[in-house]
Amino acid sequence: MNGVELFLLGRTLMKIGEEALPSEGLGRQSTGHRSVLIVVSDIRDHPVSSVGEIAARTGLPQSQVSACVARLREAGSIVTATDPQDRRRLLVRQAPEISERVAAVRAAPIDTALAAALGTDDPQLLGEVAAALETLARHLSPQALTRLHSGGQPGQAG
């Protein structure tokens, strides 16, 4: 596998993940799953941030980050507060408790989306691919990106 193939695989996996996310009961949204997940990922990596800081790190327009923050706050995934040092800024952090909506999203199975992407409902193949994805997830956690950007050396535990 080369870098291009890895990139394309990652993009395909993102699309399958988006398809697996439950969207019923959300109504019409101005923000897509991908933008919301980018913001969620940034908030996880930077526990207290302003909307502007999230926009700068993610490259998303500030208006889009604001829409994602509103959607995540409504779902109970994050909490916001006015910055006590600069009352014009809104600080964003993960919610201290997991809401019903967040729990439902995290518990959503990937089976249907994975079967559709593979073009089969063969339980053996689905189990094999799901096991491979679990192995990748175990070894390529979000900390892998930190190691990648900080020059982590091969052979370091991860």
**Helix, strand, coil percentages, rounded to 5, for the chain:** 60, 10, 35
Structural domain including 117 reads 1-21+108-152
17-31 mean pLDDT: 66
Q: Using the predicted structure, report yes or no on whether residue 2 has a pLDDT greater than 90.
A: yes
131-157 mean pLDDT: 77
| CA separation for the pair 56, 50 (Å, rounded) | 10
Q: How far apart are the first and last CA of the chain?
A: 21
| CA separation for the pair 16, 110 (Å, rounded) | 8
Q: Is the pTM for the entire model greater than 0.85?
A: no
Shared domain check, 71 and 31: yes
- Sheet with strand 49-50: strands edge to edge: 49-50, 90-94, 78-82
| CA separation for the pair 138, 32 (Å, rounded) | 27
Shared domain check, 32 and 10: no
pLDDT in tens, 39-89: 888 898 888 999 999 999 988 899 999 999 998 998 888 999 999 999 889
pLDDT band at 158 (very low <50, low <70, confident <90, very high): very low
pLDDT band at 4 (very low <50, low <70, confident <90, very high): very high
The confidence score (pLDDT) of residue 148 equals: 77
Shared domain check, 30 and 92: yes
The confidence score (pLDDT) of residue 152 equals: 65
CATH, residue 71 = 1.10.10.10
